[in-house]
Amino acid sequence: MHRSQLPRKYIEYLTYRRELIRKKLPCSAAQRNPPGPKTGEQMGEETRAIVAKMEELLNDAEEQRRCIGALMNLKDKPSDTLSPGPAMPIIEAGAVKATIKAMEKHRRNADVQSAGCRMLYMFCSNHVDDKVKAAIVEDTDVSKVLVAALKAHSGDAKVARWCIAALAYATQNKSTHALLLKDKKTLDNIVAAMRDFRSAGDRLEEDSDSEDPDEDAEDPDEDEYPLNYQDEYDLRGHAIVVFCNLTEVPTQVQQVIDAGGQSVVSELLAALEAITVLS
């Protein structure tokens, strides 16, 4: 029977019973009073707890990676002090220093290095205010661990992707330029990353454009092509920013070319062309 055909008193009775049941259902305190955005002080306390755990388990590489991930997630939580997260209280609570310490301790661990580079990039990206960005950009220890990560894991696409992204901000501090220009291998590694680390789709497009494509070619292996289009786009874009920052000082232009070899110019042009296509 359709609702419209039910007696009016019966409908009123059912409505009354429904409301009565709703009132009697248990309701948690969180449902009655949903928590508001956390304050910077609360986020600082959570950060100190994570940092303390990192200090206690410093020799455990996997735990360091997890804790760095927790710090990144902490930043993205809503707050009444900063959108999208109260980065400055987190930094003041020791997040960056703990990350640097973990990266120094586990230099040979690509997962720790990748997570650390990504965390440093996130905390100085455009999503935070200038004070937060300056706190990282002006820290020379940040540039040191980034250069060390790129040197130790030059063949790891994921480390290169986040390390170069972080260097794009770190090189805004001109006092860090000497560190990158000191060792020729640093710029060589950036150039190599632009050339070698490309997405599977990019390679497949090249194969389809070739005169004699291999019809029996297998699907690209995930390990061989660890980057997606967005990763490739960002890696090349941030690499270009690194070289732009370095060449803002006129006297360093020749140093950049000498340090990275003549391939710097050709790879930058290729990267610009690729970015145009990817975008």
The pLDDT value recorded for residue 20 is 67
Confidence of residue 8 (pLDDT cuts 50, 70, 90): low
pTM: 0.72
Is the per-residue pLDDT at 179 higher than 50? yes
Residues 98 and 174: their CA atoms lie apart, in Å, by: 24
**Angstrom distances, CA of residue 140 to CA of 94, 144, 156, 177, 187:** 16, 6, 24, 10, 18
pLDDT at 197: 78
Instruction: Read off the DSSP letter of residue 4.
Output: G
Residue 215 phi, psi (nearest 5) = -70, -25
> Between the CA of residue 33 and those of 27, 163, 176, what are the distances in Å?
10, 42, 49
R_g (Cα) of the chain, nearest Å: 26
142-170 pLDDT per residue, tens: 989 999 999 999 889 999 999 999 999 88
Query: Any idea which of 41-45, 94-98, 163-167, 194-198 has the lowest mean pLDDT?
Result: 194-198
Alpha-carbon distance 242 to 264, whole Å? 12
The residue count of the chain comes to 279
Give the list of residues 6+ apart from residue 75 with CB closer than 8 angstroms, or none.
84, 85, 86, 87, 90, 122, 123
Output the pLDDT for position 270: 72
Asked if 11 and 3 count as a contact pair (C-beta separation under 8 A), the reply is yes
The percent of residues in the chain predicted with pLDDT above 70, rounded, is 66
Please give the residue that has the higher pLDDT: either 118 or 278: 118
CA 174/CA 177 separation, integer angstroms: 5
pLDDT of 72-112, one tens digit each? Answer: 887 655 444 444 455 788 888 999 999 999 999 999 999 99
pLDDT higher than 80, residue 129: no
Q: Please tell me the distance from the alpha carbon of residue 127 to that of residue 137, in angstroms, as a whole number.
A: 15
pLDDT, position 164 = 93
Q: What is the mean pLDDT of residues 21-32?
A: 58
Q: Are 66 and 20 in contact (CB under 8 A)?
A: no
Q: Which residues contact 193 (CB under 8 A, 6 or more apart)?
A: 154, 157, 160, 161, 164, 235, 239
Confidence class for position 137, pLDDT limits 50, 70, 90: confident
CB 263 within 8 A of CB 190: no
Summary mean pLDDT of the chain: 76
| 122 close to 75: Cβ distance less than 8 angstroms | yes
pLDDT at 203 over 50: no
